[in-house]
Structure 1
């Protein structure tokens, strides 16, 4: 890969996640303070991410994979996104805001797969070349949070500017995309079935009892995850934490640190323990939030944010590696698409529709009874952890469907 190509891809990845991090973290606070939205309305707005994740494979499978170059589809979607983000700053009420944010997420979520496709096409050794470029994406999210905190937009009730900032970045990335290396449609002229689009060719993996338990746990653990994404920023701002968005970026810093340490943990813990530790971190995070405050228990709030690195890396990244090893070469792409659709699509969607009414139910004259609110996702995560520990054995052989040639690795023996 030439230096010019590397710079272009790195810039693309930085902007891709800078755009998302610019508005997504603080949207709940914006909706509550500026548009007087309820908890249920807030959660409904966040569910747009899940609907985008569910619809995204159809856009990729039916358009980008068959008819147009990935970088051109990426450019068009980001230009549409820039217009929608700017338009949303002119809307004075939630009823007008909701359909626009839904339209935006339907445009944005497919770009997550497109930036990967553009990157991989230029690489001869993705396992070594992709991580340094992907890290720029996490850095983009971090910079967005730090910038919001430094500018004090939460304290000055100026969060509408986050959408304008994201719109400008989306415009830049949209234009840059047309200068990215050519990435022709991978399946031009081929017939694409619904099974291909939704990754259903990998459904035979669910015949493996252990993988079925992992799959169910993955969907279920995304229910409490929705509480974190939807309400952490409103919670911290209600507690009067200064620069809450900037503090939340510590979670992405933690993610980078634990990602680097994962190979060491794999050797010592193995798959089951890695996944269990990730879910245990979920429980602890919400317990810390439940009992944390701006006074003597301030450390609990920071610890809860730091635990995001373990929550994400130990469960989702380990799960992706587990799925990749189990599926084999033929079905690995379909399997990753299927598990993503189930978690960020179905699991997060359920969590969004659950979290909003719960937050509204525990609303008080002074704000919210956050202790009770956070103990609910802690309890859900605890139940998922308990079921996983009891039933996940990872010793069953896969019952192959016709044409599905997969061998299950021994517990804990995954290549990293």
Structure 2
């Protein structure tokens, strides 16, 4: 029975990120190369991920807690997400595609947290050790993302709408499959008197009154502006390499090294947090982003292919170290009564506001300053700007954010 439960949740985790990875890293290639739209036009479409991340996960969380079983809501959202994606091949206007993808993201983004919630509930009700059992299940989500990238790349679908069809089919299958999962009955919240502000997680905004916390959230937003640049432009950049080269022909496969690296670096986090502390690990992440984009900027040099591989390897540190150490900072520096809300605020600042501003600003910068007369993109210049921005954020963070390492700081949550 135990193996069956874990296997069923593993399938859910795999499909959860397969239906996103099929198009997330290739939508810019599809828009700019397949449809010949501008970076600003595709950037606006991509920004719907951030817009839908601001409140939708909280709203659907309330619904799952009060009115409908979580696995059923999860299934309905995926059915809607898959159905909407089937409209993409019939859309030839970027303004129209903005609304199609926005509708799809409104359905998809809440399912990320719902998938975690379902896994936690099912594992807990079956008396599993969640801290020990969940990570091996979740890592299959990254595997699903990688497989989707490979499918899209190896079928030549990175410049066609087939990538959205693959995602749509997977989402429909996942939606149907969700109804076979163990029941996650809504918890009874009626006994607790909570206002709308509390339910939406907005009570955590009072943390902005604390200078240290306000500074942390500010830098979370600033770095959040850089977090999605790889997903937005990485595949388009590698796709621009000459056809007949390994990088140009297998851009999606090469980029998937980033996700493989992510699965490996996450295993090193306990050591680095214990040895260096939260601030230093966040600094490592910020400098890793500088290296990531700096190596991409040098990708057209004689040693470019080596630097591109190294850039993809360092991505794991850049992504995992900031997100997880930032989450640990919230967990150890906020009152237990608002920790969940504070975690939601952290995600809102990084994946919501930060990602939105980063998407809009970076696509404007590329369109205005790095499109060459022949229509090609000056990727070296663009990545140099992104690396410089990340470096400025890292230096300011090192100077302004004061947090001393306390070896016992993480003891409460390590058990």
* TM-score of the pair, normalised by structure 2: 0.91
Which piece of structure 1 moves more, 310-319 or 86-95? 86-95
SS of alignment partner, residue 368 of structure 1 = coil
Once the two structures are superposed, residues 339-392 of structure 1 have per-residue CA deviations (whole angstroms, 9 ceiling, x without a partner) of 111110010011011011111112013401212211222122111111111122
Is the CA contact (8 Å cut-off) linking 1:272 and 1:412 kept in structure 2? no
Distance 1:56 1:306 in 2: 32
How many residue pairs are counted as aligned between the two chains? Answer: 400
SS of alignment partner, residue 311 of structure 2 = helix
Which piece of structure 1 moves more, 270-279 or 90-99? 90-99
Q: How big is the shift at 1:188?
A: 4.4
Q: How big is the shift at 1:316?
A: 0.9
Q: Does 1:364 align with 2:365?
A: no
Unaligned residue ranges in structure 2 (runs of 5+)? 243-247
SS of alignment partner, residue 40 of structure 2 = helix
Q: Look up the match of 2:226.
A: 224
Q: Look up the match of 2:38.
A: 38
Q: How big is the shift at 1:228?
A: 2.1
Is the CA contact (8 Å cut-off) linking 1:86 and 1:167 kept in structure 2? yes
Distance 2:19 2:57 in 1: 21
Q: How big is the shift at 1:58?
A: 4.5
Instruction: Note the aligned Cα RMSD (angstroms).
Output: 1.9
Q: Look up the match of 1:165.
A: 166
SS of alignment partner, residue 23 of structure 1 = coil
Is the CA contact (8 Å cut-off) linking 1:147 and 1:246 kept in structure 2? no
Is the CA contact (8 Å cut-off) linking 2:56 and 2:106 kept in structure 1? yes
Is the CA contact (8 Å cut-off) linking 2:16 and 2:174 kept in structure 1? yes
Q: Look up the match of 1:11.
A: 11
Distance 1:58 1:266 in 2: 29
Pairing of 1:204-215 with structure 2 (within 5 A): 204-215=206-217
Distance 1:345 1:25 in 2: 18
Q: Look up the match of 2:292.
A: 285
Match for residue 391 of structure 1 among 365, 384, 400: 400
SS of alignment partner, residue 348 of structure 1 = helix
- Shift in alpha-carbon separation, 1:377–1:187, aligned structure 2, 3 A: farther
Q: How big is the shift at 1:23?
A: 0.9
Once the two structures are superposed, residues 111-168 of structure 1 have per-residue CA deviations (whole angstroms, 9 ceiling, x without a partner) of 11111111111223221121111111111111111222333334xx4x3111111111
Q: Look up the match of 1:400.
A: none
- Shift in alpha-carbon separation, 1:226–1:67, aligned structure 2, 3 A: same
Q: How big is the shift at 1:62?
A: 4.1
Is the CA contact (8 Å cut-off) linking 2:290 and 2:390 kept in structure 1? yes
Once the two structures are superposed, residues 3-31 of structure 1 have per-residue CA deviations (whole angstroms, 9 ceiling, x without a partner) of 22212111111100000001111011001
Distance 1:56 1:227 in 2: 22
Q: How big is the shift at 1:204?
A: 4.3
Unaligned residue ranges in structure 1 (runs of 5+)? 396-408
Once the two structures are superposed, residues 78-132 of structure 1 have per-residue CA deviations (whole angstroms, 9 ceiling, x without a partner) of 1111111111122233232221001000110011111111111122322112111
Is the CA contact (8 Å cut-off) linking 1:278 and 1:310 kept in structure 2? yes
